[in-house]
Amino acid sequence: MTQLAVDATPGLAPYMAALEQRLAQATARRPGRAAAVAGEALAAGGKRLRPRLCFLATPRAETAPPLAAGVAVELVHMATLVHDDLVDGARMRRGAPAERICPNVGEPRKLSGRSKLVQLNAL
């Protein structure tokens, strides 16, 4: 199936428009640094492949499109991208400086919870 055929899938365009609106609402729900970072990550755009897959995998007999699932998988994906930028010390994200999303990139980072557990298990 080509990209054009996928985009022509009945109901996909309104689903994607509603998804963008819900993503914007979800990222702005809690004010502060997390909302600012999430808003920047959302504004960076993307293909929104995971929500599209949620839509395409839902049986046609379903009455409502899987908006909650699409929002959830996209938010997790956006969070993993930001996390990877922090861990990798990335300087760029989609052609823009990663520093706008992750200030202090390149500075020494604290150990994550998982790293602490690995250290404790090594004792």
pLDDT, tens digit, 9 for 90 and up, residues 53-85: 999 999 877 678 999 999 999 999 988 888 887
Which residues form the domain of 64? 3-122
- CATH number for the domain including 45? 1.10.600.10
pLDDT tens by residue, 87-110: 777 777 667 776 555 555 545 445
pTM: 0.72
Tally the domains of the chain. Answer: 1
Residues 38 and 25: their CA atoms lie apart, in Å, by: 11
Residues 79 and 111: their CA atoms lie apart, in Å, by: 18
The pair phi, psi for residue 44, each rounded to 5°, is -65, -15
